[in-house]
Amino acid sequence: MRRLVGAEWLKARTLRSTVWSLAGTVVLATGLGAMLGAGLRDHEDRDFAPLVAGSLGLTLAQLCLVVFAVQAIGGEYASGTIRASLLATPRRGAFYAAKIIATVVPAGAVAAVAVAGAFLAAQATMGDRGVTPWAPGAPRALLGGWLYLTLITLLALGVATLLRRPAAALGTLLPLLFLGSQGLGNVPAVGAVLQFLPDQAGSLVLGTAGPPDDPTFDRAYGPWTGVGILAAWSAASLLAGWLALRRRDA
User: For residue range 88-97, what is the model confidence (pLDDT) as tens digits?
Assistant: 898 999 999 9
Q: What is the pLDDT of residues 48-107, one digit of tens each?
A: 677 888 888 898 999 999 999 999 999 999 988 999 999 989 899 999 999 999 999 999
Judge contact between 118 and 32, C-beta under 8 A.
Answer: yes
80: left (phi over 0), alpha (psi -120 to 50) or beta: left
Q: What is the pLDDT of residues 119-149, one digit of tens each?
A: 999 999 988 878 888 888 889 999 999 999 9
Looking at every residue in the chain, the average pLDDT score rounds to: 87
Mean pLDDT along residues 239-250? 89
Look at 127-136, 146-155, 175-184 and tell me which has the smallest mean pLDDT: 175-184
224 burial (CB, 10 Å; 0-12 / 13-18 / 19+) is middle
Q: Check pLDDT > 70 for residue 41.
A: yes
The more confident residue out of 52 and 190 is: 52
Mean pLDDT along residues 218-242? 92
State the first-to-last Cα distance of the chain, in angstroms, to the nearest integer: 22
pTM across the whole model? 0.90
Domain ranges of the chain: 2-247
SS3 226: helix
pLDDT over 70, % of the chain: 88
